[in-house]
Structure 1
């Protein structure tokens, strides 16, 4: 093993920041540009990264395209929809407001990345404005944009992420119920958990 432990060692392999090509730097904006707005409005999914005293968290967020609202070029609004109530991301943000988002759009080879700072808002009028099927989120993240840029498509191309031939038969993977049963020594999970999940998900999407 030969672990890298200094910036000098790292830059000896990859080069210094000032050696990066112009295209890699020119794409970075400090606000949501008209072109980047189109990515955000088309995206039905993002990964939300946060950090806190206990460590890091990367959480999926998904909804109908445009579920992230652009309040202005430097401010995004992200509703916190129904989940498992662990609220790992929110626990982190209370202590450390730094946040990273990666938007994915099915069929597009590019990902959109945003770094910034977030606060958790509970204004009743704001929450009501995000209601779906009569259900409002309990909180909304107000994200102050620090930088916005697109990620090149190489990773998505290598993964064949949107290729039908790359799809995995879910029957070849352990089910959530099977994983829970194994981890809890049978206290929770199992076939009954898996059988009840589709109806439970439909009733609690929002």
Structure 2
């Protein structure tokens, strides 16, 4: 495989990009708000899953999933929400990025719903015990929280979900054809698949909270 392949015929500026893509409709231009209204709060309360995008001060990017029971993200007021940080793999990619560059993007997803909610803002790592206490699960508080000061929020259209047929029961591959995570991890880490299976089993059964 060629190393560092170059792309041909690339876009050089926004003017050229607009000549191909065009401009947003009046609805799209007007749909962005700068606070969490009752509709956004309701959406967040029904969402069991989000992805958070971050980058460090050098521009290196990361995107990471977060999930729990619907309503796991705590809305403090119309400008602030907080995401519980449950036990993970301790890479802390998102949190290290936030320490050097607080800008984040969130994408909230509700299973079965094709529209998503996007929230952009400025993040802070929170260790306030009073707040963390409100997000306890099975008598365990989150280790920390990612607090977000909301700067933009808006509904994203359903086209990606419609094209992918993500929520259609027959749209996915049969289970026997799905990638096996432990095989991938074994190949990448050079640790035996049996040991990886044991590590994942222990993590998924004993260290969710």
Contact 1:43/1:103 (CA < 8 Å) preserved in 2?
Answer: yes
SS at match of 1:82: coil
TM-score by length of 1: 0.92
Q: Which residue of 2 aligns with 1:163?
A: 168
* Residue 2, structure 1, aligned to residue 9, structure 2: yes
Alignment of 1:134-153 (within 5 A): 134-153=139-158
Deviation of 1:42 (Å): 0.4
Deviation of 1:195 (Å): 5.1
Contact 2:186/2:196 (CA < 8 Å) preserved in 1?
Answer: no
2:138 to 133, 136, 147: 133
> How many Å separate the matches in 1 of 2:115 and 2:63?
19
1:75 to 73, 80, 87: 80
Contact 1:49/1:89 (CA < 8 Å) preserved in 2?
Answer: yes
SS at match of 1:166: coil
How big is each residue's C-alpha offset from its partner over 1:131-178, in whole Å with a ceiling of 9 and x where there is no partner?
Answer: 111211111111000010011001000001111001223432332221
1:20 to 20, 24, 30: 24
Q: Which residue of 1 aligns with 2:5?
A: none
Contact 1:105/1:111 (CA < 8 Å) preserved in 2?
Answer: yes
SS at match of 2:170: helix
Which 4+ runs in 1 deviate beyond 3 A? none
Q: Which residue of 2 aligns with 1:194?
A: 197
1:119 to 114, 121, 124: 124
> How many Å separate the matches in 1 of 2:167 and 2:195?
32
Number of residue pairs aligned between Structure 1 and Structure 2 = 201
Q: Which residue of 1 aligns with 2:3?
A: none
Gaps of 5+ in 1: none
Deviation of 1:79 (Å): 0.7
Contact 2:55/2:61 (CA < 8 Å) preserved in 1?
Answer: yes
CA RMSD of aligned residues (A): 1.5
